[in-house]
Structure 1
Amino acid sequence: MRLHLSENQLQTQIRYFAYYEIASGILTTGFVVFLLAQTTSLLGLALLLYVGFLALTGFTIYCGYLTLKHPYRGLQLSRISLMTQFLGFAAGGYSFRYFAGPFLAISADLTNDLILRAEFAFGEFNFKINGSSDTLLLSINAVAMLLFWRTTFWLNEWHIRYIKTRVLLAE
């Protein structure tokens, strides 16, 4: 069991990640509130969608806060948050894309021909029911994928330290 990071490096990287989550959640929430302020009326499903989006961004903020206070548990929940941001799709009149914070999405539009595109932006929420039924689109968020891999690495480092400490205490 070889450790790749010093204790200080591990804690610093996890702390920066937690600040990233909090900042991206707050900025994305601010963006949604700005859009809501420009909307004249919200009824039914639209209001429910905005509440759901605010819940997702709130969960991202909570994961960042928890990562600061209890890194192991926070990183576990952060992986769930990142999984919701990992994949976007549009098919059969339904679409879902949620990316909090900066994202680099690699998309494949399979509607008529295979069209690949890359998008870079900050925060997106797209949820449609009864949209264009002939659209077929798949998006992968490279930033969320990289952060998911990194949180897995940090959890493994944390776990190795925990096991090593328990073995030393048992001896």
Structure 2
Amino acid sequence: MEKWLSKETISALLKLGVYQIAGGAIGALMILWAIFQTPVFNITLIIIYIFILALFGYSIFCGISCIQTKRNALKHSLLNQVLQVLSFALPGFTFSYTAGVSVFAGLVMTDSLEFNFSAGISSVTVNTMTGEDTLKLSVNIVAVLLILWINKLNKTVKEELTRWDLPAIDNA
């Protein structure tokens, strides 16, 4: 498919791919480090670590797909970013996932309503049975911007492939 795309589009896919690989690799390395620091394992912890490594592995897969200009690369990249948009905490459960850069803006609802802002790089938080009564909801602004960029890039790819009478990228 690469020979049918413009240099600008291939460059954009390369940038997106490198970003996703770097974010996934940093996250996976941090989790592997955490695994080696954990003195005692139980089945729940093992399942959580496997789940987290799978998320970061998926980001790496998406990046490789973009670099190789695979037909489904943007579909997978879009899903990867959608998984990173929301961070939330409910009584008894917390989830946050970022493979790459994050800038979260959100609300914390305890006895009052607070605005929350944070930034970071490749992280995951999965807590169960936290015992907190706090409700938190945050949106990763970087993931939202990447979703918009991926949608624009997907439209460009479709237009370029249509010029050659090739099937669109998301039909694969």
TM over 0.5: yes
Taking only the aligned residue pairs, the percentage that are identical comes to: 23
SS in 2 for 1:112: coil
List alignment gaps of at least 5 residues for structure 1.
1-5
CA distance in 2, matches of 1:115, 1:130: 23
Q: Where in structure 2 are the equivalents of 1:130-149 lying within 5 Å?
A: 130-149=129-148
Q: What are the Cα deviations for residues 8-40 of structure 1, in whole angstroms up to 9, with x where unaligned?
A: 222111101101111111111111111111111
CA distance in 2, matches of 1:111, 1:50: 29
TM-score, length basis structure 2? 0.88
Shift of 1:100: 1.2
Q: Please list every run of at least 4 consecutive aligned residues from structure 1 whose deviation after the TM superposition is greater than 3 angstroms.
A: none
CA distance in 2, matches of 1:71, 1:143: 24
List alignment gaps of at least 5 residues for structure 2.
167-172
Q: Where in structure 2 are the equivalents of 1:1-171 lying within 5 Å?
A: 7-166=6-165
Shift of 1:97: 0.6
Paired residues in the alignment total 162
Tell me how large the CA RMSD over aligned residues is. 1.6
CA distance in 2, matches of 1:48, 1:139: 25
Shift of 1:70: 2.7
| One-letter amino acid of the counterpart of residue 97, structure 1 | S
